[in-house]
Every structure is written in structure tokens, then in C-alpha cells.
Amino acid sequence: MDLVPKVTSFLTLVFIALSSLEPVVCIRHWQLSSQPLVDEHLVTNLPGQPDVSFKHYAGYLTVNEQSGRALFYWFYEATTHPDKKPLVLWLNGEANMLFLESPVGVGFSYSNTTSDYNILGDEFTANDAYAFLHKWFLLFPSYRSRAFYIAGESYAGKYVPELAELINDKNNDTSRYIDLKGILLGNPETSDAEDWRGMVDYAWSHAIISDETHKIIRQSCNFDSNDPWSNDDCAEAVDELLKQYKEIDIYSLYTSVCIGDSASSDDKFTQIMFTRSSKMMPRIMGGYDPCLDEYAKAFYNRPDVQKALHVSDGHHLKNWSICNTKIFVEWLESRPSVLPIYKKLITAGLRIWVYSGDTDGRVPVLSTRYSLSSLGLPITKAWRPWYHKKEVSGWFQEYEGLTFATFRGAGHAVPLFKPSDSLAFFSAFLLGESLPSVR
């Protein structure tokens, strides 16, 4: 009963941060040979959006020629000194940005072989993302030798470590070497058992469920088993938890839900039937907007937008949606825990930062704390607040090989709630600096 959409198709961010390393001669040759395709992918005008001073590119890269699998990307150069910024792949600022819709079947990404959609899973997705990266490096070769980071939120808690592990394992082949430096994970699914325990305890501690429901779940649910739902008492109590969360936004406990004729959700587990209203909730400029999904869906299905992004000719349109429920339900393979990968990547010396918005009920801060606690890492710097603009942004603790931080008052997608704090946090991660612990 995994609630986080594994296939959320919001154009998933890949932040590219570049170092000042000089590309080698053979890469320069590739750059010349790929220039025509780069020019074809240049976005010259994005309808409804203001003119910008930086370049951005969008289009398809084929990750499997035989089956015709192609992933859609959208790449933004940094506004200043793009040749001196680090490379970060955000799977779900001050850097070049590339959006990737993965796996095939979500957003604009597709396969010409329909059977591909029946075998989608974690390993399949990691392999396609890895193939995409190497195709992308051929298109933008000056980035191949730059410092590379991977970041993401939600189910990317599994995607990111899995892709990082794949890169780390294959880096023995120097011809395909990627200079992976670290990973950044926000409100991440990590370990199924600990994620469920944290979700239950968080719901109880935040008055979503009653003492009685919490007690039944704690006594009857064995989240370590392969099928905790075989116990009827457990299943009924968890259903009660989900029922209560349908009354609010599980991803943001203390903000409004989207109410109006166009309000909808493709998430079959958290779908809520709203009272129809003649008044649409006003947009909230500069803050979290519960109707954001609807705006995105309307925008990316505009003929002129799809033409500008090189996914259609403006007449034969593709149907872009927030989530693909069919793929969600039929997801073939998911690792129950990526904690063994954490240990492997820590041993490899990668920088690992994990953060949690503390008002998210879906992958709550307790889930992440339970998961990280099971690693048994020695603490190097004790729990303390971190600050941004002289205000407490959250709390953090440093371990050997890992940093964990919270964002005070942020929901599931932290940057939507705390954009300025998130940028400061992201910058500290890239620079390898500790978070500010004084006002």
C-alpha cells in the first residue's frame, strides 16, 4: 500500500552544477558534431512566460533504439557563469537545470513498444536514467567532466540511491566515468517498514487518528512482513488512517486543499471528493498553491507550449498528466529498503544529505528519523537549529557520512513552501558547508 506516486510526472528537476574543469580535446570534437541537434532543441519562446536572459533546451533523447524508448528533458543553463557551476540531477537556483520525465509512460516520455509499460520498476528506471545521462553528455559534452550530484524528493528516495549505486558500480569503465560527488534526498521513501511506522506514529502524534486506531495498528500490523495487510484488524485500522487523511492534504497538513470544479487527483489512494463550488480558490502568489497540479496540467497540454518544447508540431498533441495511475498500480519491482545502498555510498565517500519538511504526513519526518536511526551512524555534531535570515529554518544533525535536516513548517515538496530556505540549504550542500547554526 505505497502511497507516494512512483511515476509523478511533474517535470522532474536535474540541477547541473559545473566546476571549472577544462574539457578534453575529444569532448570538444563531440561538441562540434552535436551542435545541430543542440540548436534544434533550443527553446526560443515559451508561451505565456516572460523572456529570459539564459538559454534553455527541451526535447527527446532515445535511451533504447530497439524498443523506441525516449525520455523527455528540459535543460536550463544557469543565469550567471554556467561554465563554473556543479552538476546535480534532481529526480522528481544557482545551477543549470535539466528536467527529466522518467520512466517512460509518464509526462511526455514514451516507448514505441507497449510491452515496456508492463515491466516498469526501480531497476528498469535506473538503467534508462543512466542511459539518458550518457546520451545527454554526448549532446552537451562540456558537462561530462564536471562534478555531478543527484537530488530528488518522495519516491526519488529510492530512485536517487539506486541510480547513484549504478553510476558508482559502472565507474570502473573510465570511458563512461561520471564524477559523482553526492546525493540529496527530501522527504524520501527509504525503508518500507520504517516509512509505515513513521507515518502511523506521525498521524497519531498530530491528532489525525485516535488513540484507539493507533493502538490497533501498533498491536496488529507487522510492517516487516511481506504482507502486513493479511491481518484484518491491521488493514481496517490503516484504512481508517487513510480515510482521515482524505479530509485534508496528506502532503501538507496545515494548508488548504484545492476546492473547485477543476480540482482532481490521479492518486487513487489519496483522491478526495470535494464539494463543488462556484468560487475557485485564488492563486497564492509566492507561496504554496494547492491547485498547482491543475495549472501545470493545463499549461503543458497547450498546443503552443508543446510545440515550443519540441514534443509535438502543435497539432498532434500528447496528453500530459501529473501522474500515470496505471503505471503506479502495476509497478513491477520496488526495493523494500535502500538503506544497504546508503551504507555502500557512505563507504564510497559520497556526500549524503537528507531533509524533511515537518508538516508532511505522507513521508513524515518520523519515517526518515526511524530509517536513518537504523543505520547506527556515529553522531559528529549534535542536534541543533539552523538559520536563514536570522530565523530558525529547522533543525539538523551531522553523522559520519550523512547530514539530516528538517524544514520548519514545510510540507512534502519542501521548495514549494520554503523557496529561499531551500536555496540556502541547496547551496550549502553543493559547497560542502555545514548549515548556519547561529543567527
| 437 phi and psi angles, rounded to 5 deg | -110, 15
Q: Annotated catalytic residue: which of 192, 360, 371, 393?
A: 360
Instruction: Say how far residue 117 (Cα) sits from the centre of its chain.
Output: 21
Q: How many CB atoms lie within 10 A of CB 42?
A: 13
Contacts of 32 by beta carbon, 8 Å cutoff, 6+ apart: none
Are 60 and 121 contacting, i.e. CB atoms less than 8 angstroms apart?
no
Q: Annotated catalytic residue: which of 192, 358, 412, 422?
A: 412
412 catalytic residue (yes or no): yes
The rounded distance, in Å, linking the Cα atoms of 217 and 197 is 9
143's grid cell: 558537462
CA-to-CA dists, residue 36 to 31, 70, 140, 202, 422, angstroms = 10, 19, 12, 53, 36
21's grid cell: 574543469
154 catalytic residue (yes or no): yes
Q: Which helix (H) or strand (E) holds 100?
A: strand 96-101
The rounded distance, in Å, linking the Cα atoms of 370 and 190 is 10
How many CA atoms within 13 Å lie on the side-chain side of 378? 2
Q: Annotated catalytic residue: which of 154, 265, 356, 367?
A: 154
289's grid cell: 498553491
Q: Tell me which residues are annotated as active site.
A: 154, 360, 412
